[in-house]
Every structure is written in structure tokens, then in C-alpha cells.
Amino acid sequence: MATGLVEFLLSLRRGLVKGEQNSPARGGPRVGEFARARRRRDDTSTPTPLQREPCKTRPAFELCAKGSHGNYMERLPSEIILKIFSFLDASSLFNISFVNKRFHDLANSNALWSVLYASEIEKKMWRPPVSMIKEAVSSTVVEEKPAGYWKKLLLREMAGYKDTMWKTELKHMNPHTGMPALTEHVLRRLDIQWEITLTNRHGRESVYKQTHTFFEDSSVTVCWSQGAWPHMCTLNSLQLHGIMCPASPAPGDKPRWRSLIRKTALQRTGHWLFFGADRLVKVLQFDKGIIIGLWRGNWKIAFIMVNLHFHKLIERSLLGSRYCPYIPADDNAVDPDCSRHGYTLHIVLHNPVRQIMCQRFSPLYTRRVMPQRELVQLIAIDFANVSEHMPVAKISLPWQAEGLKGEVERCCMMTLTVLDEAQRPFWCVSSTVKMYSRQRVLDLEYEGEQFIVLHEDAEGKVKMTFVWMEEVQHYFLVQLVTVFPSAKVKRHFSGEC
């Protein structure tokens, strides 16, 4: 092995010497002199081991670039590159168009994107006949379209396919409630869930996933009762987000998009409202239908419940951002003549386990309320009309947390929907309500204790009067009245009331 290496080096040296001897004949006599002078200078200036310069290394890509003669991909014919691009999917083809100008021009070819568009159309549940697809993406039609036409069409189709599906499904209305009939179906199909984010005084956030949901005709009740809950006194705010959870999440999934539905302050000053209690927990009520159960004695959270109305619920759960909620556009295309009559009221009393009462009242007519006639009143049940009174089951709010169960008496959740004559939502309420004992103000035929339920916000007011019948262990609803500001009516109908 060593002998062969020596012979190779000797033959290489002889070749170099022979080349130097022949160089004057090709390049003139001065070239050989310069070569010999340079060789003598190198021999005399060889440094000692202590003076030897360190070996300089070059990166591998510099050595490859020095020996290469350009990018081989750029030297390929356009037909070959187009053939390679034809094996890419839409995402890869879109990304490769940013490599250089040539790839950008080739990747925007209508011939490539028309094939991808045809394959995307075939994935739909409904699709036009095959003859129409072939005609749409035929060679003559493809060439007639401007550059990038099929690319834009495909990206729009891929981005809006699911969005178009659930928006189409929500067009089917439930004639009883006035809400989309397939809301629950769409929520389950899209795997929409709700998360709560608790922020303490130091800005630290804790996220909790839902543990239980209860759907009824026009709302959903969401409960959170698992996790390491903090003490109530240490919290600053609560955020409710809607998220779309994949059916089988993979380890490398990206963070899920969060859509803010509501944000509530939890400071003790001015925000805590006692709602009810039992032997184990005491319940606090916050704005917009949020209640928090606390263990007696330590002020630690036991559970959280939220009641969400179906009106624009899917949009609010998907189309908002992490810090800004979705704000629907105002729809004022309503006949002003409908403002005086034809209202429909749908009300549901329920808890996270069962439905207590569900009634629909239509048509209802407005009345002016003194003073200054600035309020509009709808009377669904008049205490003077005994035929309108109706029995109601026992009202309570059951809960479950950490293996324990309980029930808070005379508390429940209310879902109220007021529709105009065109069956469009006029006022939607989803809140927790509590029964208050009152003296016998109404002179009724029933003998029993009277209770009232009040809900009031900036949009309107609801008042219900109940009578407890001890003999049958039932409540009787003897009055149901809703009141709105006349300014709300004018704003909704875009005209004078």
C-alpha cells in the first residue's frame, strides 16, 4: 500500500516538473522564470514549527460552491420543473412559489392549479356532475383564464369550505324558539368547546377545560368542576373563550385559536353578589350568567357555571380573537310597522341537569309605560287572568364537584328570547336568576307564599311572580312581564315606535 502511494507521488512530481519545463514554450520565457523564482522563495521562506501558521478551514458549502457551476434546478427545462411541481399539494405549491422568480412564475401555472381545484371539488358532499367539472377545467378554458385565477379559486374554496357549511346549516330555523335548529349539531360536529382563564393579581393565568355541558332548546349550560382551583380572594378576572378542539389531537398540533366571548372582573369590591347557598357551598353571581361556587370556610372555588344563549353563539365561539370578542353587524332591514305588534316571547327555566319550564307566547302587543312613556311593556301572563297561570316544577340548582353533590334551592337559569314579527331576535337573555320572597302584594285566589324573579340589564327587564302551593308541592307562575326602553325599539326598527 505504501509502495503504491510513493509511486503515485513520484509520478505526480514528475508531471509537475515536466509541465514547468514546457511552460515557457506556451506562455513565454518570463513565465518559467517567475515560477522558478516563486519556488525558490517558498523554499527559503518555509517557517519553523513555532512560526507555522494555523491551518485555515473553509465551510463545506464554500468548497461545493467553488467547484460547482450554478444551480442545477435552475438549469432544468421548464417542462421538467412543471412535472415535478405536479406532484405537490396546494400548500407545498404555494410555498415553493416564494423561492425565486422563476419558481414563482411556474408555480402559478393555471394548468397545475386547475387540477388541484378539480380534486378539491370532488371532496365535497355535493358536487356538480363530472361533465361540468371536466368542462370547467378543460385545456381551452384553463388557458383563457388569467394567471393565478385557479389558484385564488382553490384557496378561497379551501378556506371557506367549512365556514360555508355551518353557515348554511344555521339558516334552518326552529319555528318554536326562533333560533337555528341545528346549533347543537354544528357545535358538536365542529368540536367547539369552552375554556375559562382565571387571572390572579400578579397576572398569572390558569386555564380550565369544561367538564359538563347541558343543551336545551335555545341555550347551553357549561360547567367546570375539575382542576386545582385557586382561592377566590386572589383572582382578578375571568375570561371565557370558545375553541375548536380536534377530535384526535396529535402531539405536534399547533396552539388552538381562542375566541373571547366575555371577560368578567372578579375583584371583591362591587362585583360579588350573593346568589345562594347550601350545607357545603355558597354561590356568587356575576354579570352575564356566570356563577361561581365556593367551599364554605376556605373561599376556594368548587365549580363555575355559565349559561350561553344560542343567538350568534357559533360566531362568538369562532370568529373572535383572544383579546377581542366577535361583534355582529347590525341588521336594520326591518319593517318599522312591525314595532307595535307581533312579538313572540320564548322563555326557559332550567338548571345544568333538567328543564324546569318551557313556554312560548305569541303574539304579544306593546304598551306604553309611564312616566314619560319611555318604556315599552309586553305582558305574557297577566295575574288578573287565571286561565293564563301555569304550574312550575320545583326550582333548584344542582351541582357536583370533587365527588360531592348538592342543590341550591330557589335558584336556576333563565333563557329568554324575544322575537319581532319577522321572527328576528329582538332581545336575547341567558342568565342565572334567584327567587326572592315578598309580601302578598297581588290579590290572588291562591293561598301560599309569593316569590318574584327579577332580571334587569341595559337592554330590558323581566319580572316573574310565583306562588308556592304547599298542597301540591309546586309553584304557580301568575305573572310574566318584560319591559324595554323605547330607544331600543327605535334602534331595532330604525324608525319611530
Q: For the sheet with 258-265, list strands across it.
A: 205-209, 192-200, 235-244, 258-265
Contacts within 8 Å (CB) and 24+ apart, 187-192: 187/220, 187/313, 187/314, 187/317, 190/162, 190/166, 190/244, 190/314, 190/318, 191/244, 191/245, 191/246, 191/247, 192/242, 192/243, 192/244, 192/245, 192/314, 192/317, 192/318
Selection from 3-12, 214-223, 285-294, 319-328 with the highest mean pLDDT: 214-223
Domain boundaries, the chain: 72-164, 183-245+258-318, 336-493
What CA–CA distance (Å, rounded) separates 290 from 308? 9
Average pLDDT over residues 256-275: 84
What CA–CA distance (Å, rounded) separates 496 from 425? 19
Instruction: Check: CB of residue 497 under 8 Å from CB of residue 340.
Output: yes
Average pLDDT over residues 380-398: 90
Instruction: Check: CB of residue 357 under 8 Å from CB of residue 392.
Output: yes
Instruction: Check: CB of residue 277 under 8 Å from CB of residue 408.
Output: yes
| C-alpha cell belonging to residue 131 | 361533465
Q: Three-state DSSP class for 353?
A: coil
Placement of cell 411541481 in the chain: 85
| C-alpha cell belonging to residue 231 | 382561592
What CA–CA distance (Å, rounded) separates 231 from 115? 59
**Which pLDDT does position 319 carry in this prediction?**
86
Helices 78-85, 110-121: inter-axial angle, 10-degree rounding: 20
Residue 51 clears pLDDT 50, i.e. is over it: no
What CA–CA distance (Å, rounded) separates 400 from 408? 11
Average pLDDT over residues 219-247: 90
Please provide residue 486's backbone torsions phi and psi, each rounded to the nearest 5 degrees. Answer: -65, -25
With a CB cutoff of 8 Å and minimum separation 6, the contacts of 148 are 108, 110, 113
Residue 246 pLDDT class (50, 70, 90 cuts): low
**Which pLDDT does position 117 carry in this prediction?**
84
**Which pLDDT does position 249 carry in this prediction?**
56
**Which pLDDT does position 222 carry in this prediction?**
96
**Which whole-number Å values give the CA distances from 72 to 75, 148, 173, in the listed order?**
5, 27, 61
Instruction: Check: CB of residue 452 under 8 Å from CB of residue 438.
Output: yes
Residue 331 clears pLDDT 70, i.e. is over it: no
Placement of cell 383572544 in the chain: 322
Q: Reply yes or no on domain 72-164 having CATH 1.20.1280.
A: yes
What CA–CA distance (Å, rounded) separates 89 from 48? 62
What is the rounded (10 degree) CA torsion for 308, 362, 366, 435?
-50
**Which whole-number Å values give the CA distances from 385 to 13, 411, 445, in the listed order?**
122, 26, 11
Question: Could you tell me how far CA 295 lies from the centroid of its own chain?
Answer: 32
Nearest to 424 by CA among 331, 300, 360: 331
With a CB cutoff of 8 Å and minimum separation 6, the contacts of 354 are none
Q: pTM above 0.85?
A: no
Residue 418: burial class (beta carbons within 10 Å; 0-12, 13-18, 19+): buried
Helices 149-169, 110-121: inter-axial angle, 10-degree rounding: 20
Q: How many CB atoms lie under 10 A from the CB of residue 272?
A: 14
Question: Could you tell me how far CA 394 lies from the centroid of its own chain?
Answer: 37
Residue 67 pLDDT class (50, 70, 90 cuts): very low
**Which whole-number Å values give the CA distances from 91 to 81, 155, 188, 216, in the listed order?**
17, 9, 28, 41
More confident residue, 185 or 488: 185
**Which pLDDT does position 250 carry in this prediction?**
53
| C-alpha cell belonging to residue 224 | 367546570
**Which pLDDT does position 375 carry in this prediction?**
84
| C-alpha cell belonging to residue 210 | 369544561
With a CB cutoff of 8 Å and minimum separation 6, the contacts of 356 are 349, 350, 392, 393, 394, 395, 412
Placement of cell 355535493 in the chain: 126
**Which pLDDT does position 63 carry in this prediction?**
44
With a pLDDT cut of 90, the percent of the chain lying above it is: 36
The pLDDT tens digits for 70-106 are 566 777 888 888 888 889 888 888 888 888 888 888 8
Arithmetic mean of pLDDT over the chain: 80
Instruction: Check: CB of residue 476 under 8 Å from CB of residue 467.
Output: yes
The pLDDT tens digits for 161-211 are 566 678 888 999 998 999 999 999 999 988 899 999 999 999 999 999 999
**Which pLDDT does position 66 carry in this prediction?**
47
Residue 31 pLDDT class (50, 70, 90 cuts): very low
More confident residue, 30 or 275: 275
Q: Mark residue 396 as left, alpha or beta (left: phi above 0; alpha: psi -120 to 50; beta: remaining).
A: beta
Residue 46 clears pLDDT 50, i.e. is over it: no
Residue 464 clears pLDDT 90, i.e. is over it: yes
**Which pLDDT does position 138 carry in this prediction?**
53
Please provide residue 72's backbone torsions phi and psi, each rounded to the nearest 5 degrees. Answer: -65, -30
Average pLDDT over residues 338-354: 84
The pLDDT tens digits for 434-459 are 999 887 666 667 778 889 999 998 88
With a CB cutoff of 8 Å and minimum separation 6, the contacts of 62 are none
Average pLDDT over residues 252-273: 79
Instruction: Check: CB of residue 151 under 8 Å from CB of residue 90.
Output: no
